[in-house]
Amino acid sequence: MVPHTKVSDDDFRQFRDYFHRETGIHFDSSKRYFVDKRLSERVRETESISAKAYLTRLAQGGADIELQHLINAMTVNETYFLREEYQFKALVESVLPEIVARRSHRRPIRIWCVPSSTGEEPYSVALYLIERWPALATWDVEILSSDIDTEVLERARIGRYSPRSVQHLPRAWLARHFTRCGDDYQLSHEVRDAVHFTRCNLAAPRETRAFRDIDVIFCRNLLIYFDDASRRQAADALYDALAPGGFVMLGHSESMARMSSLFRARKFPQAIVHQRPEDAA
Amino acid sequence: MPLRQPRPAPAAGSSGPRDRLDAADPAERRRAAQALAGQPRAVPRLGARLAIETDRAVRAALLDALVAIGSDTALGAVTALLTAEEPGARAAAFEAIARIEDARAVTLLLPLLDDAAADRRVHGLTALADRRDPLLVARLMRLLGEETDANVCAAAADLLGRQGDAAARPALLRLKARFRAEPFLQFATDAALARLAEA
Amino acid sequence: MNPVLIVDDAAVIRTYYRTILTAAGYPVAEVGDGVDALEAALQQPCSLCIVDVNMPRLDGFAFLEALRREPVDQPPALVITTDRGDDIAGRCRRSGANAYLPKPVRPETLLAQVALLTGGRA
């Protein structure tokens, strides 16, 4: 057995500050156990002599590939299909009908899921539209999905899921869109091809600038990891990515009211959703 | 089914040198303001636009840029917005001022306490709330002696209760006596006195 | 009875209203700016909003205008402000307020207005 690499208080602080600078993601001391575990994995993996040596090498720069590995290790995210389903309901029953009602020309509807994680969320959007939004017959929809973690993006593109991940999907949806693959479920080509995956760091304005004219953003359970300043910056990036009148869906415990004064809360039967006002005068 | 792969990202996203602060499109004005965030020489242009801008998101970007530049003239343009006619502009100014560090905010905002309009004196005190600074305490003590507007007095008493020490007690007691007929002033000075007693 | 939502950025003013209203038996909730007020008013029905005009992030008028567009049971709204412009009462009305009082407000004036707007005593 490989000995556990010791992560000192000093190492933790150095990691925390460095990681926050690079990604906007803040780990406080309550996440210490998690950080220590993942960090020692990277120290071992890179055959560094200590956590300090590993962090020093990273801080010197030029270690982009290792930084990406570290990001991948620190942002593991457990999710599943139809998590917080009321938001998908809000999407097809309230949000999209409002968007198409005020749209005079047939520009495609653009939906952006960030973070993508292993794909359950963008694919849930795709499945919900196929199964529950009859207007899909007449409207083009583009689904984009981004994550800072390249490894989960690769897994998302493959689209193979455990029984636990798909347990909340109706049986009929499973039968129509998945094939059994040993214990796992393989998502169909058609649905996988409907989502476009890209790497994007929400804390880097240069990277978010490519996203414009989005009608709906799903950004759930990500901003809770950011500190106040990064959160404000991320909220600005989301605002700029949205078309006027576009909506952002946050996680159940998150509130845009705390992060930004640019959005307006809107009440729909299924949920409160935050909107970039159509007219900001 | 019309779920489809996106076309290449639209070029509209990138900001260019051609984005103008006086463009008709608010998105272009906002990008222009964001692009000028690191440029001290742009302060006069940013400040001039801020004075007339009505779009909330553009105004927020102008304020962010000015706070980021942080020079005296830049921050002066930010605090000047407190005297705007439109409550929405003042709301944005309060929000931006909260991000300016204490000592500088106090220096910039104290002159507002001499404004002829009571409204503006109240706005100045609102923007000064929770600032810690000895200059401010001294100014508040002086203000309590001369100010006649009840709302200004209540805001000043509240601030003094948070920041002052036992030396502020007599001024607060005199204020309380002066506004004996005004229940809100009685309440606010009692709250300030109780706070001082705890401190 | 649903709570009276107090919207004012000055904690001392919120405490003043709360003290008066709770003594008269009204349940209250309070927030410090228009953004939080909109979120609160959409999340939980209230029997009345008492709204300041000058607040950080979102002013009282903009809050009321946004609230009035939403499909919720619309609470009456009372604006209490230091603003004294010629047309302040008109501006309040146009933003969707039902009544206006200048600051500072006396307890008996506040209670009378609140009783009137909520349709009786607490």
* End-of-domain residue from the set A29, A48, A74: A74
- Whether residue A99 sits in one domain with residue A32: no
The average pLDDT across A166-192 equals 96
Is residue C50 within 8 Å of C98, Cβ to Cβ? no
CA distance C107 to chain A (A): 31
Q: Where do the structural domains in chain C lie, given as residue ranges?
A: 7-111
Return the structure tokens found at A78. Answer: 């457990």
Whole-number pLDDT of residue B11: 47
Is residue B176 within 8 Å of B189, Cβ to Cβ? yes
Going by pLDDT thresholds of 50, 70 and 90, the confidence category of residue B1 is low
For residue A148, CA distances in Å to A31, A67, A222, A223, A238 come to 20, 11, 11, 13, 15
- Collapsing DSSP to helix, strand or coil, A260 comes out as coil
C62–A contact, CB cutoff 8 A: no
Tell me whether residue A18 is in a domain: yes
Q: Inform me whether the pLDDT recorded for B77 exceeds 80.
A: yes
Per DSSP, chain C holds a count of helices (H) and strands (E) of 5, 5
Count of CB pairs separated by less than 8 Å, A with C = 25
- Whether residue A107 sits in one domain with residue A57: no
Whole-number pLDDT of residue A255: 85
**CATH topology (fold) of C7-111:** Rossmann fold (3.40.50)
Going by pLDDT thresholds of 50, 70 and 90, the confidence category of residue A12 is very high
Using omega within 30 degrees of 0 as the cis cutoff, is the peptide bond preceding A115 cis?
yes
Whole-number pLDDT of residue A21: 87
- The Cα–Cα gap between A225 and A236 comes to 16
- Whether residue A208 sits in one domain with residue A90: yes
- The Cα–Cα gap between C62 and C67 comes to 9
Contacts of C113 (CB under 8 A, 6+ apart): C78, C99, C101
**For B129-163, how does the pLDDT look when each residue is reduced to its tens digit (9 = 90+)?**
888 888 999 999 999 999 999 999 999 999 999 98
Whole-number pLDDT of residue C121: 53
- Collapsing DSSP to helix, strand or coil, C1 comes out as coil
Going by pLDDT thresholds of 50, 70 and 90, the confidence category of residue A26 is confident
Q: Inform me whether the pLDDT recorded for A224 exceeds 70.
A: yes
Chain C residues with CB under 8 Å of B188 CB are 12, 16
The average pLDDT across C3-13 equals 97
- Whether residue A63 sits in one domain with residue A95: no
For residue B61, CA distances in Å to A85, A160, A233, A279, B46 come to 35, 43, 11, 16, 10
Query: Are C12 and B185 in contact (CB < 8 Å)?
Result: no
**For B25-72, how does the pLDDT look when each residue is reduced to its tens digit (9 = 90+)?**
999 999 999 999 989 999 999 999 999 999 999 999 999 999 999 999
C102 beta partners: C81
Split into its structural domains, chain A has a count of 2
Q: Inform me whether the pLDDT recorded for A130 exceeds 80.
A: yes
Selecting from A139, A240, A277 the residue whose C-beta is nearest the C-beta of B2 gives: A139
**For C75-101, how does the pLDDT look when each residue is reduced to its tens digit (9 = 90+)?**
999 999 998 878 899 999 999 999 999
CA distance A261 to chain C (A): 6
Question: Which of C98, C65, C103 minimizes the C-alpha distance to C83?
Answer: C103
To which residue do tokens 């700029």 refer?
A240
Pairing status of strand A109-113 against strand A214-219: parallel
The average pLDDT across B73-79 equals 96
Mean of the per-residue pLDDT values of chain B:
91
DSSP string covering A201-251? -TT-HHHHTT--SEEEEEE-SSGGGB-HHHHHHHHHHHHHHEEEEEEEEE-
The 10 Å Cβ neighbour count of residue C38 is: 26
A281–B contact, CB cutoff 8 A: yes
- Domain limits at A27? 9-74
Whole-number pLDDT of residue A211: 94
CATH of the domain at A219: 3.40.50.150
Query: Are C42 and A265 in contact (CB < 8 Å)?
Result: yes
- The Cα–Cα gap between A3 and A49 comes to 12
Rama region for B18: left / alpha / beta (φ>0; ψ in -120 to 50; rest): alpha
CATH of the domain at A36: 1.10.155
Q: Where are the beta strands (DSSP E) in chain A?
A: 109-113, 141-147, 160-161, 178-181, 184-187, 195-199, 214-219, 242-250, 264-267, 272-275
User: What percent of chain A shows pLDDT beyond 90?
Assistant: 64
**For C103-121, how does the pLDDT look when each residue is reduced to its tens digit (9 = 90+)?**
999 999 999 999 999 987 5
To which residue do tokens 């990064």 refer?
A230
A270 → chain C, closest CA residue: C43
* End-of-domain residue from the set A53, A74, A95: A74
The average pLDDT across C31-36 equals 96
User: What percent of chain B shows pLDDT beyond 90?
Assistant: 83
Predicted TM-score of the model (pTM)? 0.87
A contact chains, 3+ CB pairs < 8 A: B, C
Chain A residues with CB under 8 Å of C75 CB are none
Chain C residues with CB under 8 Å of A264 CB are 38, 66
Query: Which range among A30-44, A136-150, B38-52, B74-88 shows the weakest confidence by mean pLDDT?
Result: A30-44
CA distance A83 to chain B (A): 21
- Whether residue A101 sits in one domain with residue A66: no
Query: Are C82 and B98 in contact (CB < 8 Å)?
Result: no
Question: Which of B74, B134, B77 minimizes the C-alpha distance to B102?
Answer: B134
C57 → chain B, closest CA residue: B91
pLDDT greater at residue A1 or residue A244? A244
The 10 Å Cβ neighbour count of residue A208 is: 22
- Whether residue A144 sits in one domain with residue A107: yes
Going by pLDDT thresholds of 50, 70 and 90, the confidence category of residue B199 is confident
The average pLDDT across C25-40 equals 96
3 state SS for B100-156: CCHHHHHHHHHHHHHCCCHHHHHHHHHHHCCCCCHHHHHHHHHHHHHCCCHHHHHHH
Q: Inform me whether the pLDDT recorded for A258 exceeds 90.
A: no
- Whether residue A115 sits in one domain with residue A139: yes
**For A51-69, how does the pLDDT look when each residue is reduced to its tens digit (9 = 90+)?**
999 999 888 877 788 888 8
Q: Inform me whether the pLDDT recorded for A70 exceeds 50.
A: yes
To which residue do tokens 């990008």 refer?
B31
- Whether residue A250 sits in one domain with residue A177: yes
- Whether residue A245 sits in one domain with residue A107: yes
Whole-number pLDDT of residue B152: 97
* End-of-domain residue from the set A29, A44, A74: A74
Chain B residues with CB under 8 Å of C10 CB are 126, 129, 155, 158
Q: Inform me whether the pLDDT recorded for A28 exceeds 80.
A: yes
Selecting from B91, B129, B187 the residue whose C-beta is nearest the C-beta of C59 gives: B91
Pairing status of strand C99-102 against strand C77-81: parallel
A265 beta partners: A274
The 10 Å Cβ neighbour count of residue A30 is: 7
- The Cα–Cα gap between B82 and B123 comes to 7
Tell me whether residue A156 is in a domain: yes
Q: Inform me whether the pLDDT recorded for A1 exceeds 50.
A: no
- Whether residue A232 sits in one domain with residue A253: yes
Whole-number pLDDT of residue B18: 64
- Whether residue A98 sits in one domain with residue A31: no
CA distance A232 to chain C (A): 13
Q: Inform me whether the pLDDT recorded for B5 exceeds 80.
A: no
